Structure 1
Amino acid sequence: MNVTSLFSFTSPAVKRLLGWKQGDEEEKWAEKAVDALVKKLKKKKGAMEELEKALSCPGQPSNCVTIPRSLDGRLQVSHRKGLPHVIYCRVWRWPDLQSHHELKPLECCEFPFGSKQKEVCINPYHYKRVESPDVQAVAYEEPKHWCSIVYYELNNRVGEAFHASSTSVLVDGFTDPSNNKNRFCLGLLSNVNRNSTIENTRRHIGKGVHLYYVGGEVYAECLSDSSIFVQSRNCNYHHGFHPTTVCKIPSGCSLKIFNNQEFAQLLAQSVNHGFETVYELTKMCTIRMSFVKGTCSLTTEAVLLT
């Protein structure tokens, strides 16, 4: 038995509410979702009792059970974010619920999610499920490039995006009059707002960074004499780091910055938790890199990884 399980404790209130859980919603995640709700409802007199009444007597009228609306309207449970009424309708009524588009509030609900009030009702019996409109299949053609690279100086984008079609790409500080499709030469880019600090940083880019895609994995190799700095949520997930951790790659060293198989597994796990959870994963497809002290930086967006 590990230390975590030895000291884990589920409150009686959470256990009672989990008794009405529907279907095969992930046990641990559902428990965390309910635990987070209980902590909020205990601050309101009678809120817990009202929720238990609604769950135990689904055919009877019940009052709104509300929690404060967050700034973006979403609620974070463990590592996933979602809309609160969707989360609790999924736990207690429809485990296969995909998004808020499938829910419509009943007329009796005074604080429906769509009303944009300071409080939002999470009573699962104050919402009804509606049929999603049939969606016509959209023709999709895979792009020829597997990633796009955009160059920034401070917060200002400079030049056009570079689309990488080759699995091996060099991003350096030189100029290349031959217009090599496998090189993104930052020395060619001009910026009227460039100051002496940026000019000094650009001089240190040198051979820059080598990005290569092999066997479903993307690597960044630092060819510059100075270190480069990378923020990759996919890489951070693999190593158990905080999502926004920045990793330093010294000169001559490489780092795996994207793993397609791990991303595919996360995507498959997220599909059943609705649009918001899937959309959150798009952040993993954007990787940020900076040279020297971060004055000059790149944003790499994975477009196709197969």
Structure 2
Amino acid sequence: MFRSRRSLSVRQLWRQRCTTPSRGLGEGAPPHPEDLQNGLRPAAHQLFIKLKDEQLWQLVEAVESKGCWDCGCIWGPGDGRSGKSLQPHLLLCKLYRWPELRSAAELKTLVQCQNFWRKSGEGTSVCCNPYHYSRLSAPESDVSLSYKTREAPRPVVPFQETSCFNVRGIHDTTLSRGSHRDGHWCKLAYWEHRTRVGRLYNVTEPSIHIFHNLPKGSGFCLGFLGSDPRSQTVRRTRKKIGQGLVLSREQDEVWVYNRSEHPIFINSPTLAAVSARGQSVHKLLPGYSIKVFDAEQAASLSGYSAQEDGPCDPHSVRISFAKGWGACYSRQFITSCPCWLEILLSTPK
């Protein structure tokens, strides 16, 4: 019974190899046959032998749900190597998500993984759940995609809300600058075109999941926010939000991980190159993460002002789901996008 159950789980894992149609350079690119035959399959077989039966079923659940259900950490061999010099987590990320992945330096550990909270050199095993990692994306001005090992998180500093949104003279007074002592580090506002839908959502935890629909999901569910009537464009775009994104505060930085099956588009003062003119909108592909805010860099942008429309301070980040805007798109302003999110970051008191 034990052997047949184990064999069944391994067969399920082979059926779930990364064979979905390519979406550009994002998650789901077709596998390279030579890699599967000459490298990945033998290495994966050796790794499966080392995993316990319970761990194999955890891995089956993770890959079959494509990360919809968080199945926890799956601890692999502690030597950091498997098969042909592939680290366990790199091997499974190549097998199930990104066949073109070249090194572990292209990966970022996500905040829900216990590895993220470990200090450098702590522990010998490594989590090899492929959905506890994302690909690293960077602005064009960045030279390297390497992600430095982080120390234990610093204590949360009390914050004060900044604001706000101003669209060609249309000002939402509910987002005005104010002082709060409730411990939140940001507030979230969901918009459909020029209309804000629902109330502001205070974020106090280190990370928040923002999604439309997700089994066993917890966080900011956009699917619960009502707006009547909705245009056909908005309804179609809302369906594309899916698993949405994860917003996390990591020391003095804010990161975004795209969990959906469609690109998201991001505008942030600290994401664009300092010399950039006008607004810069970054396209983030499915499965990728990017640093959208850097507190140290923001401190030097006190004179920042957005052109035409949008937030007027260096502590506001805007994200559009599935639809881009700016000079490269038919939509010139984010207020023309069907579904978008405004992140109102707080500043130290």
TM-score band (shorter)?
Answer: 0.3 to 0.5
Question: Which structure would you say has the larger Rg?
Answer: 1
Higher helix share: 1
TM-score (ref. length: structure 1): 0.46
TM-score (ref. length: structure 2): 0.40
